[in-house]
Amino acid sequence: MSSTLFDDTLAVPFQAYKEHSHPEIPHLIEYLALICQDPEVNEYQLAFDELETVIDDRVECEDEAATAKTIISTLFQTVTNVDTVGPELAVVVAQLTESIMEIIPDTMRDWTRPEHSEQGKELFRQLLLEGINFYSGPPPHQSGDDIDVESLFSFLQHSARVQLSDYIRELTDLALIDPVVVYGLVVKFFQSLAVPTPSIAELECVCHLLRAREHHAREVLWTDPILNALEIIRARDGDTLVQKIHVLLLVLSVLSG
């Protein structure tokens, strides 16, 4: 992973980083995300323990769910930050997400929701889903037939869109979100399974979303309608597709065969 931010963070011991940054949750998440390739190192454990302490200190406070919301918001911002793009970032941030969910107290609740809404880890899982919807749905405060509504996803730089796609796929492989969510994103990018018309950028994101490793995810994603749509694109647009997309389509074809 080549990133100035990444390199600088690794060079700073956690105690010095803590004294310099006075880390609240966003700083802790960013620090953890950039060193969590090796969760056995002492600096990672120190930072993770600090995060767990912050979470525990806010349990049963009225703003305790704001803690989880801040964590998730920072995780998504990390994977869509073009300054930290790298081939393994989506994987390690997804693993960090899983580790954080494991320490979410079962009693954590969102006091702004109905009394019997999700709590604890299920609340965290629901907030993850809402984070995905935030990027893939219409931008906030925009609705109505007379407004040209695009998702926030489309406003990201291409490298960030691909990295976000990888992160969402990794969350699916880790069973943190239902693969049906990814299926819906793929269908949205295709616009129509019978006559798929994704842009080249959308098609690349689709290929990254579909590269699931786990059987439970592949079972939902690698359906005949999805694979047929990919074959239609390959047969129809093969001469105009860039080589990278050709390779991705071929890899999916081999894996699903």
Q: Is the pLDDT of residue 147 over 50?
A: no
User: Which pLDDT does position 174 carry in this prediction?
Assistant: 96
Going by C-beta distance under 8 Å and a sequence separation of 6 or more, which residues neighbour residue 89? 1, 33, 78, 79, 163
Taking only the tens place, the pLDDT of each residue in 78-119 is: 898 877 666 688 999 999 999 999 999 888 888 778 877 888
Lowest mean pLDDT, pick from 18-22, 97-101, 134-138 = 18-22
**How far is residue 156's CA from residue 234's CA, in Å, rounded to a whole number?**
26
Domain ranges of the chain: 1-110+119-135+154-177, 179-257
Q: Are 101 and 121 in contact (CB under 8 A)?
A: yes
25 confidence band (pLDDT: 50, 70, 90): confident
Phi/psi of residue 49, nearest 5 degrees: -60, -40
At 146, list the tokens: 């007379």
- Confidence tier at 167 by pLDDT (50, 70, 90): very high
CA atoms of 203 and 80, how far apart (whole Å): 18
The model's pTM is 0.82
Quick check: 165 pLDDT over 60? yes
Q: How far is CA 23 from CA 15, 37, 51, 143, in A?
A: 10, 20, 9, 37
Residue 249's pLDDT is 72
**Would you say residue 8 has pLDDT above 50?**
no
Task: Answer whether residue 13 shows pLDDT above 80.
Answer: no
In the prediction, which pLDDT does 144 show? 41
Q: What is the pLDDT of residue 118?
A: 86
pLDDT score of 159 more than 90: no
Does residue 143 surpass a pLDDT of 60?
no
| Secondary structure (DSSP) of 59-113 | TTSTTHHHHHHHHHHHHHHHHT-GGG--TTHHHHHHHHHHHHHHTS-TT-B-TTS
The confidence score (pLDDT) of residue 94 equals: 95
The confidence score (pLDDT) of residue 7 equals 41
The span from the CA of 43 to the CA of 118, in Å, is 33
Phi/psi at 119 (5° precision): -130, 165
Q: At which residue do the structure tokens 């407004």 appear? A: 147
**Residue tagged 């793009």 (tokens):** 85
- Chain mean pLDDT for the chain: 79
Nearest to 125, CA basis, from 135, 110, 137, 112: 110
Greater pLDDT, 19 or 221: 221
C-alpha R_g of the chain: 20
Q: Where would I find the H helices in 174-213?
A: 179-190, 200-209
- What was the pLDDT predicted at 148? 42
Per-residue pLDDT at 166 exceeds 90 = yes
Mean pLDDT of 119-138: 87
One-letter amino acid for residue 181 of the chain: V
254, with CB counted inside 10 A (0-12, 13-18, 19+), is: exposed
Both structure tokens of 38: 């090796």
| Pair 206, 186: CB distance under 8 Å | yes
On the question of pLDDT at 11 being above 50, the answer is no
Q: Is the pLDDT of residue 180 over 90?
A: yes
Q: Are 167 and 205 in contact (CB under 8 A)?
A: no
